[in-house]
Amino acid sequence: MSLLYSLLIGAIAGWLAGKLMKGGGFGLLLNIVIGIIGGIVGNWLFTKLNISLMGGVIGDILTGAIGASVILFVAGLFKK
């Protein structure tokens, strides 16, 4: 069940990050991957900065979306 939860949260976070970064994302599969990696990056980043978002599903989505946005921003720097 946790795999399904991670995939669902990753898909939503990846889609949201694509919208926040003024892009349509990279398709469902890559949005899921970027969202999951973004969740890991977001958790790491917030831990280092001593920031705590709300808990639960909304907090997980926000953390994943912010982390995925960071990934997309860095990828955009290399794309240019």
Q: What is the pLDDT of residues 27-48, one digit of tens each?
A: 777 777 888 888 888 889 988 9
Give pLDDT, residue 25. Answer: 60
The more confidently predicted of residues 46 and 25 is: 46
Helix (H) or strand (E) holding 44: helix 28-48
- The number of CA neighbours under 13 Å toward the Cβ of 15 is 9
Average pLDDT value over all residues in the chain:
83
Q: In whole angstroms, give the CA distance from residue 64 to residue 78.
A: 21
Give pLDDT, residue 48. Answer: 94
20-26 long-range Cβ contacts below 8 angstroms, 24+ apart: 20/65, 20/69, 21/69, 21/72, 21/73, 21/76, 23/72
With a pLDDT cut of 90, the percent of the chain lying above it is 4
Residue type, 32: I
